[in-house]
Structure 1
């Protein structure tokens, strides 16, 4: 499993944990001494944060769980940001305007808009989460890097 899929599962699990923990803490604190307004507000915010994470990840759950992916192919440019943390590689499709970002670093000879590559990016069917990518030489079609 790659980092992107693990990140997706971490977001989904984090949402579930926030919801369950906020509900359990509410009932536990309410029974003992009563609950203060500030504590109640924090629990509501934690529950809303968890609901937001689940709301964001749930539409793609069936695609990730059943490995039902779509692949976008075409000419792209590769940008690598060495200053960001975590390091990311960004793939821009020139014709369609699609943009994909991965927690990875492809060891290519050159980066930037002047160097075209052929990219195959696999995403969930709704294009919400990136799964993996392959970068090919534009002229020869030779595989240069794969994140699988």
Structure 2
């Protein structure tokens, strides 16, 4: 299992944990006479965050579980952010306008919009969560890097 799939499951699990904690906190505050309004507001916000994470991830759950992926191929530009923590690589496909970000470090030699590459990005069918990618040389179609 790669890093992107583990990240997906972490988001999904985080949503369930936030919902469970907010329900438990609500019942604890219900019997506490000292509980203030701000405690209930914080619990409600925690519940909303958990529901938001679940709503964000559940539509792609069947694609992740059954490994039902789509591969997008095309000319792309590669941006590498060396300053961010964790280091990310951003792939922007020119024709489709899709943008994918991966937690990875790639040594290609040249980055930016002036250097075109051919990319094959494996993603869920709804294009919500990227799974893996392969970067090829634009002129020779030689595989330069694969995250698989």
* TM-score normalised according to structure 2 size: 0.94
Tell me the distance in 2 between the aligned counterparts of 1:32 and 1:38: 13
Residue 32 of structure 1, CA deviation: 4.4
Give the CA RMSD over aligned residues.
1.3
Distance 2:125 2:56 in 1: 15
Aligned residue for 1:59? 59
Rounded to whole Å, the distance in 1 between the matches of 2:7 and 2:90 is 17
2:4 partner SS: helix
1:20-58 Cα distance to aligned partner (Å, 9 max, x none): 111012112323446421111111110011001001111
* Paired residue secondary structure (1:120): strand
Number of residue pairs matched by the alignment: 148
Whole-angstrom distance in 2 between the partners of 1:93 and 1:25: 45
Which residue of structure 1 aligns with residue 70 of structure 2? 70
Q: Secondary structure at the match of 2:10?
A: helix
Matched, 1:126 2:126: yes
* Correspondence 1:1-148 to 2 at 5 A: 1-33=1-33, 35-148=35-148
| CA distance in 2 between partners of 1:48 and 1:94 (Å) | 36
Q: CA deviation at 1:2?
A: 1.5
Deviation at residue 138 of structure 1 after TM alignment:
1.4
After alignment, is 127-136 or 20-29 more displaced?
20-29
CA distance in 2, matches of 1:41, 1:91: 39
Where structure 1 has 5 or more consecutive residues not aligned to the other structure, the ranges are none
SS in 2 for 1:83: coil
Question: Matches of 2:82 and 2:118 in 1, distance apart?
Answer: 22
In structure 2, stretches of 5+ residues that fail to align are none
Aligned counterparts of 2:124 and 2:83: Cα–Cα separation in 1 = 28
